[in-house]
Amino acid sequence: MLTDNKSIAIVGGGPGGLTLARLLQLKNANVKVYERDLNKNARVQGSPLDMHEGSGMDALRAADLLDEFKKNYRPGADKALIVNEHAEIVFSDHETKPDEDFGNEHFRPEIDRGPLRNMLLDSLQPETVVWDSHFISMEA
């Protein structure tokens, strides 16, 4: 395996970096994630993310985290409601769109960044994330 006996550094502990770390650890790679936050509780995480088939959902499946995702996502948050200037509903898919339709290419379940980050952190081996690490430069 290409990752055997390799040390891999990932700069940034956002959703992408943590997911990559999980995927690499599943392949028995030695991974460290260097994150500038002081610790996992250093700040409130930003707005929710919607996960798409062919990208985020595929990554969660590959990381064996789909069941954990289902425990933490926001059912129905991907529904749309459009109103006019008088607050009259012009469009709504609330009656026709199911709350859960995993596997459908148009289903984009949302998850708050805090629970997503915690889910990813909990899936990693202890001491994977090196907190309070600021990337300055890289040398060969």
Q: What is the pTM of this model?
A: 0.83
Q: What is the pLDDT of residue 103?
A: 81
Whole-number pLDDT of residue 123: 98
User: Which of 50, 55, 43 is closest to 114 using CA atoms?
Assistant: 43
Residue 19 CA to residue 5 CA, distance in Å, equals 20
Q: Which two tokens stand for residue 38?
A: 């002081």
How far is residue 78's CA from residue 80's CA, in Å, rounded to a whole number?
7
Tally of residues, the chain:
140
pLDDT of residue 1: 62
123 three-state secondary structure:
helix
- pLDDT for 97: 73
Which parts of the chain register pLDDT below 70?
1, 3, 98
* Helix, strand, or coil (residue 111): strand
